[in-house]
A and B are shown apart, each in its own frame.
Chain A
């Protein structure tokens, strides 16, 4: 099956710093989503981005489908950005969403 690798596994930032999270996948996809899980366990969809670039406030994401990776950018980080960021993909010839192991982000004030 498709492999999804996220890096780095852990990241500690000072408030105000920028960061880039990466998601590599091993096969063609027709669905890619980024999620944020807050410290209370709630999962929130950040982006649906099987290709191209999207921006939402301080967050933006880029997926280069031909090279099988996606990047999530967080600018001017805030303590409320802390949590786990997951990438999830649906293979082009599959009907299931497969999650990566996540990146744990800690933003310190």
Chain B
């Protein structure tokens, strides 16, 4: 199993540009989520999904869009990039129980995004 994969590893954008961060998992996990990590602030939840066609907002959803058309893929879209979105982005997946994450969360390697 490849586990959770993310592309790209690094990205530099200009203010106002849009882009999509890709996340895929091959463990048949229902629950997938996106976090951003900023220095000294731990990980903050952006959006999550409990299955294909079902998504919901986390703590910091503004400026980001998600969709889940398949179990395997959960892309994160930046609609109009801003310098405040400079961060490291992590995708995670797990089995789901009663609409939440069950057991162990598996993380991808992260995408380091810089917005100029």
Contact = CB atoms under 8 A, between A and B. Distances in A.
A99 B33 CA distance: 13
Interface residues of A, number: 22
Given A86-B43, A97-B33, A99-B42, A41 B110 contact: yes
Interface string A15-56: 000000000000000110101000001111100100000000
B45 A98 contact: yes
Contact of A95 (B42, B92, B98, B110): B98
Given A44-B107, A97-B45, 15 more contacts: A31-B102, A33-B104, A35-B105, A35-B107, A41-B88, A42-B110, A43-B90, A43-B107, A43-B110, A48-B103, A94-B100, A95-B56, A97-B33, A97-B105, A98-B45
Given A43-B90, A95-B50, A96-B45, A90 B101 contact: yes
B100 A45 contact: no
A101 interface: yes
Contacts of B56: 95
Main secondary structure of the interface of B (DSSP, over half): strand
Interface of B: 33, 35, 40-45, 48, 50, 56, 58-59, 88, 90, 92, 98-107, 109-110
Interface centre among B35, B48, B59, B100 (most CB of A within 10 A): B100
Contacts, number: 62
A41 B39 CA distance: 12
A41 B42 contact: no
A72 B56 CA distance: 31
